[in-house]
Amino acid sequence: MPRHNFRSDRVAMWKRVLCRLLPVALLLIAAAPLSAVLAEERPQLIDLDDVGPLIAREFALYDPDYKANRQARESKLADLSRSFVALQEQGYTMSCSHMIYIEAKWLVEYTADWARTDRRLEALAESLKQTDQDSVEDQSPEDGSWGGCFEAWFMKVEATVYHLEWLADRGTPPKYPVTFLNEFLQPDALTAYLQRLLVSDIADKGVDNRSELGSITASLTTIFFKKHVAKYLRDQVAGLSIEDDTVAAYQKFLDSWEDPATGYWGAWYASDGKVYRAPDLSLTYHQIAYHPQGIGDWRQIIDTTMAIRDRPYPYGWMTHGHFNNHNNYDIVRTLKLAWPHATDAEKQAIRKVIGTMLQWCLNHSLKPDGSFKSDAAFYDSLGARYYYGVSFLDEVGYWNKANRFWTDESFAKGMSICCAIKARIHKTGMKGGVMASAIQKLNHSCPAC
């Protein structure tokens, strides 16, 4: 029996909306300049129900005991996560533990490198013994990077870009020159790295590249195309060199990577001598949110986004069969940017679904005391739980009329809920990281309380 027994209706879901584009899509993919890796391949659009099973089979080929090995580490990580969040709820930021947790979670979910995973889990357990960790938020004087408790290079990139964006919002230059990214930000080196990440050969390497690909492309799109950030980096950040040729090379990669049949971006997977492409909500969101001028067909984005509503993340909106504030925030931002391009019928459908998401947030995620329910499968910290809850409510205009692109409705309880969340955050004592961003949004929306 062949290893893959994918159903004959592999693209059935997409046919209903996008079948007219598939012949053109295959021709474009055949011509895409993605080097020798794909010289004899035409990546197939995989049925989204088959992505998870394919990944699981490929990991099992790499490690026959993969399932048991992963479950053992997941259990240990869950125990450590409860201890980590409990300390945050006592008011400790636990910045170093947070970084190690994120890295350990990535290792558990996207690799079969059990020796490295165990080492980071041990480091996480050890870090929980020390509650004074704020110094790891400081910039490195050696290379100007942030993320001192990360070992994974791409995570240090993401941490560095996050802090630079934070400083850009305030117009404040960093304390030290940023040389950390310069060798990487060369056109040939950048293109080679991205092409290597694009196709995951899990059975051979034991790594699903999706997380690293998503992280690094989100960071690159931020520094190249988010206008105020790009200007700040060129004008106010010493040591950092971003050349036009590098930006052009990255744009060329994005154009080749985008899936013509869906308008989405996503990870590609090698299996049985073939390559499969899997349109991905998260990887697409960052391109739309930070580089909207790079979207060629907004109607296609609307069609695909609405078509995958009931599918599980990252190929749809749902986690464990329900909404969550992180996905809802991403989706609302996507639909807000797409709104001017939507038909009247599409706008009506968008109004309805945003209203449904809002009611879910208020009735199922937000607690009466102003806190948000935990979703351990999705949030990596207490701060993230608040940040995405606050960000979703802010984005839909729950307490800011200017953001109500989708409705003329007034929300009488908006200000009282804004104040309740703000008071609850104050009780946690947490002020750094993404919690600081949540506080900033609340201060802007309900300054009087």
d(CA 145, CA 176): 9
* Residue-wise pLDDT tens digits, 378-419: 766 889 999 999 999 999 999 999 999 999 999 999 999 999
Higher pLDDT, 1 or 38: 38
Mean pLDDT throughout 231-260? 96
Given a contact cutoff of 8 angstroms between Cβ atoms, the answer to whether 330 and 317 are in contact is: no
3-state secondary structure of 176: coil
Say if 66 falls within a structural domain: no
Q: Which of 293, 295, 157 is nearest to 227 (CA)?
A: 293
* Cross-strand pairs, 366: 372
* Residue-wise pLDDT tens digits, 180-212: 999 899 999 999 999 999 999 999 999 999 999
Alpha carbon distances (Å) from 60 to 239, 277, 415: 45, 20, 51
- Inform me whether the pLDDT recorded for 13 exceeds 70: no
Q: What is the radius of gyration, based on Cα positions, of the chain?
A: 22
Residue 50 contacts by C-beta under 8 Å, 6 or more apart in sequence?
4, 6, 7, 10
- Inform me whether the pLDDT recorded for 19 exceeds 80: no
Position of tokens 């995958």? 308
Say if 111 falls within a structural domain: no
Say if 324 falls within a structural domain: yes
Q: What is the pLDDT, as a whole number, of residue 8?
A: 36
Q: What is the pLDDT, as a whole number, of residue 7?
A: 36
Given a contact cutoff of 8 angstroms between Cβ atoms, the answer to whether 420 and 446 are in contact is: no
Alpha carbon distances (Å) from 190 to 196, 224, 269, 333: 10, 13, 20, 28
Mean pLDDT throughout 239-259? 96
- Inform me whether the pLDDT recorded for 216 exceeds 90: yes
Say if 431 falls within a structural domain: yes
Mean pLDDT throughout 203-226? 98
Q: What is the pLDDT, as a whole number, of residue 431?
A: 83
* Residue-wise pLDDT tens digits, 24-57: 333 333 334 444 444 445 588 899 999 999 999 9
Say if 333 falls within a structural domain: yes
Say if 418 falls within a structural domain: yes
> Could you give the strand order of the β-sheet that contains 199-200, starting from the edge strand earlier in sequence?
44-45, 274-277, 268-271, 199-200
pTM: 0.88
Q: What is the pLDDT, as a whole number, of residue 379?
A: 66
Q: What is the pLDDT, as a whole number, of residue 375?
A: 81
| Angle, CA of 136, 218 and 235, to the nearest 5° | 75
**Helix-strand-coil percent breakdown of the chain, rounded to 5?**
60, 5, 35
Say if 294 falls within a structural domain: no
How much is the mean pLDDT over the chain?
90
Let me know how many helices (H) and strands (E) the chain has, helices first.
19, 4
* Residue-wise pLDDT tens digits, 136-152: 889 999 999 999 999 99
Alpha carbon distances (Å) from 122 to 66, 67, 117, 147: 20, 21, 9, 19
Say if 335 falls within a structural domain: yes
Q: Residue 171: exposed, middle, or buried by beta-carbon count in 10 A (0-12, 13-18, 19+)?
A: exposed
Residue 400's domain spans which residues? Answer: 302-449
DSSP H stretches of helix in 273-381: 281-290, 298-307, 325-338, 344-360
Mean pLDDT throughout 247-252? 97
- Inform me whether the pLDDT recorded for 65 exceeds 50: yes
- Inform me whether the pLDDT recorded for 255 exceeds 70: yes
Of the chain, the percentage scoring pLDDT greater than 70 comes to: 90
Q: How many domains does one find in the chain?
A: 1
Q: What is the pLDDT, as a whole number, of residue 381?
A: 83
* Residue-wise pLDDT tens digits, 164-180: 999 999 999 999 999 99
- Inform me whether the pLDDT recorded for 254 exceeds 90: yes
d(CA 41, CA 242): 33
d(CA 83, CA 101): 11
Alpha carbon distances (Å) from 448 to 391, 410, 429: 19, 19, 19
